[in-house]
């Protein structure tokens, strides 16, 4: 409304001034004067328009100075520019925060347009899918993820369940891919590394299969002999004694297997905390040395070397179980007349318990998997010697609970050395008068 009255007042003022000029100067002079004024106004308008055009072309130049209406226009433009810059900074800051947050996500994120071309991806997605955010922008996703399963998943438009694939470019990498439609026909491709989960599932299946297999054999033996013994036609006392002896052995084998499974279950319990007891390692090893002599039945030369009387902070029963497993393995896989050395020393500030044998040795390809449940280098020999296949798995969990590490060195035909390294924080040391060795 104010603009209307302002325009009306301007028209009235021009009319009055024109009337006065006509009366005072005459028509010709008035017309000439009006033309001159209009020319000046036109020049003024052209100059401001040119300044505005120059400013529009040069984005970083400052707004021109002017008076009157043009001054108001430029002032409003300056305010709009400031508001736009502020909004742009806010949007840029929010976008940068979003990109940082997306980049920090443990999952890969790929933004795709309506025709499945890559618009952006975070570093995790670059690693998972072997793509480059800057170089591959605009590329169709199937040009880079070249797997038939993924192309079919993309074309099916059924994204309720993720797709699990093995990444061919990264050996051993298993990915879970899921598409999430959003916005104006855009899509998010989320990738998650499920290699460890798949490995756990595989281990679980193998574990169930191995336990079933380990229990099937003794149960079959016991069941077969029970059927034999119930048959009255086979009442020979010698046969019964032989059958009962085998059943006892198989029952004991199942008992050991169940006990080892229960031990593993207890060790893997996250709420199971290691007791900080004082473990007399030299005293424990002297007892284990006597047990080794009995287990070996003098078939091996067993040597005990104690170069320190350092003790440990930990669980006495668990450490005894771990040490006993390593010693019994050495006896089991060392031929008669072989040498087995048990030692306890301080090396590089750490306590080291080692079992060195002159046994059959282990092929290097098997060493990384020795602590897996039921993993056997030679299945037939392991069963003959009475092992459950869980001993080294128990050792691994006991040492993990005690912040220790197991080091295995071996050479086929020349023997093996299993060394347990305990951190300095678990050592309780004191001076020893002289080394203690036993044969």
* CA angle (28, 34, 40) in 5-degree steps: 140
User: In this predicted structure, what is the pLDDT of residue 211?
Assistant: 67
Same domain, 359 and 423: yes
227-242 per-position pLDDT tens digit: 766 765 555 777 777 7
In a domain, 181, yes or no: yes
Same domain, 118 and 260: no
293-310 per-position pLDDT tens digit: 988 888 999 999 999 999
Buried b (16+ CB within 10 A) or exposed e, 252-288: ebbeebeebbebbeebeeeeeebeeeebbbbebbeeb
Indicate the range of 138-152, 261-275, 393-407 predicted with least confidence. 261-275
Residue 176 pairs in a beta bridge with 164, 192
What domain range includes position 208? 202-268
Same domain, 212 and 315: no
Same domain, 405 and 362: yes
Closest by CA position to 267, among listed 426, 377, 353, 391 = 391
Q: Where is the domain boundary, 193, 228, 254?
A: 193
In a domain, 339, yes or no: yes
Name the strand (E) or helix (H) holding 375: none
Same domain, 90 and 220: no
Is the per-residue pLDDT at 3 higher than 70? no
Same domain, 316 and 264: no
Is the per-residue pLDDT at 399 higher than 80? yes
CATH number for the domain spanning 146: value is 3.30.450.20
Q: Which DSSP letter does residue 136 get?
A: S
In a domain, 27, yes or no: no
Q: Where is the domain boundary, 82, 104, 126?
A: 104
In a domain, 394, yes or no: yes
State the chain's mean pLDDT as an integer: 78
Buried b (16+ CB within 10 A) or exposed e, 39-68: eeeeeeeeebeebbeebeeeeeeeebebee
Same domain, 137 and 241: no
Range among 94-98, 170-174, 339-343, 380-384 rated most confident: 339-343
Residues 397, 263: Cα–Cα separation, whole Å: 10
In a domain, 5, yes or no: no
Q: Band of the pLDDT at 434, cuts 50, 70, 90?
A: very low
99-152 per-position pLDDT tens digit: 777 777 778 888 888 888 988 888 888 888 888 888 888 888 888 888 888 888
**Largest CA-CA distance found in the chain, in angstroms, rounded:** 156
In a domain, 111, yes or no: yes
Percent of all residues in the chain with a pLDDT value above 70, rounded to a whole number: 77
User: In this predicted structure, what is the pLDDT of residue 209?
Assistant: 65
Q: Where is the domain boundary, 172, 193, 214?
A: 193
Q: At a CB cut-off of 8 Å and minimum separation 6, what does 393 contact?
A: 264, 371, 372, 373
Q: What is the pTM of this model?
A: 0.50
Residues 113, 59: Cα–Cα separation, whole Å: 31
Same domain, 291 and 145: no
Q: Band of the pLDDT at 7, cuts 50, 70, 90?
A: low
The mean per-residue pLDDT over the stretch 417-434 comes to: 78
Same domain, 318 and 243: no
* CA angle (302, 307, 311) in 5-degree steps: 105
Residues 6, 329: Cα–Cα separation, whole Å: 106
In a domain, 93, yes or no: yes
Q: What would the DSSP string read from start to end of 274-287?
A: PP-EEE-HHHHHHH
Strand order in the sheet with 427-428: 277-279, 311-314, 427-428
Same domain, 187 and 323: no
Same domain, 294 and 219: no
CATH number for the domain spanning 327: value is 3.30.565.10
Is the per-residue pLDDT at 282 higher than 90? yes
The number of domains in the chain is 4
User: In this predicted structure, what is the pLDDT of residue 352?
Assistant: 93
Same domain, 141 and 185: yes
* 303 touches 339 (CB < 8 A): yes
In a domain, 47, yes or no: no
């Amino acid at each position: 409304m104010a603009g209307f009255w302002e325009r009306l007042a301007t028209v009235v003022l021009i009319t009055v001034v024109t009337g006065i000029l006509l009366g005072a100067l005459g028509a010709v002079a008035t017309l000439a004067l009006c033309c001159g004024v209009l020319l000046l106004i036109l020049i003024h308008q052209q100059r401001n328009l040119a300044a505005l055009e120059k400013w529009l072309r040069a984005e970083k130049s400052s707004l021109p100075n002017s008076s009157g209406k043009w001054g108001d226009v430029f002032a409003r433009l300056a305010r709009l520019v400031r508001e736009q810059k502020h909004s742009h900074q806010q949007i840029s800051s929010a976008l940068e925060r979003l990109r940082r947050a997306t980049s920090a996500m443990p999952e890969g994120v790929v933004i795709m347009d309506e025709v499945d071309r890559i618009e952006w991806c975070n570093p995790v997605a670059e690693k998972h899918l072997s793509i480059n955010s800057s170089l591959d922008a605009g590329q169709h996703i199937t040009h880079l993820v070249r797997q038939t399963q993924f192309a079919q998943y993309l074309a099916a438009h059924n994204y309720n369940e993720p797709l699990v694939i093995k990444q061919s470019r990264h050996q051993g990498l298993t990915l879970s891919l899921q598409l999430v439609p959003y916005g104006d026909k855009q899509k998010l491709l989320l990738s998650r590394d499920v290699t460890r989960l798949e490995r756990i599932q595989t281990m679980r299946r193998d574990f169930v299969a191995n336990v079933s297999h380990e229990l099937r054999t003794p149960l079959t033996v016991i069941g077969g002999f029970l059927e034999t013994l119930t048959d009255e036609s086979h009442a020979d006392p010698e046969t019964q004694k032989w059958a009962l002896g085998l059943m006892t052995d198989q029952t004991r084998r199942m008992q050991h297997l169940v006990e080892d499974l229960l031990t593993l279950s207890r060790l893997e319990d996250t709420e199971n905390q290691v007791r900080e007891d004082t473990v007399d390692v030299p005293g424990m090893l002297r007892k284990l040395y006597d047990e080794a002599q009995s287990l070996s039945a003098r078939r091996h030369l067993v040597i005990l070397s104690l170069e320190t009387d350092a003790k440990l902070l930990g669980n006495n029963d668990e450490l005894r179980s771990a040490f006993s497993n390593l010693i019994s393995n050495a006896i089991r896989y060392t031929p008669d007349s072989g040498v087995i050395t048990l030692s306890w020393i301080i090396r590089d500030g750490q306590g080291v318990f080692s079992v060195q044998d002159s046994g059959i040795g282990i092929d290097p390809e098997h060493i990384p998997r020795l602590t897996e449940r039921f993993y056997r280098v030679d299945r037939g020999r392991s069963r003959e010697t009475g092992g459950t296949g869980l001993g080294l798995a128990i050792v691994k969990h006991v040492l993990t609970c005690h912040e220790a590490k197991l080091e295995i060195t071996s050479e086929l035909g020349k023997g093996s050395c299993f060394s347990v390294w305990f951190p300095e924080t678990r050592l309780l040391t004191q001076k020893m008068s002289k080394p203690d060795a036993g044969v």
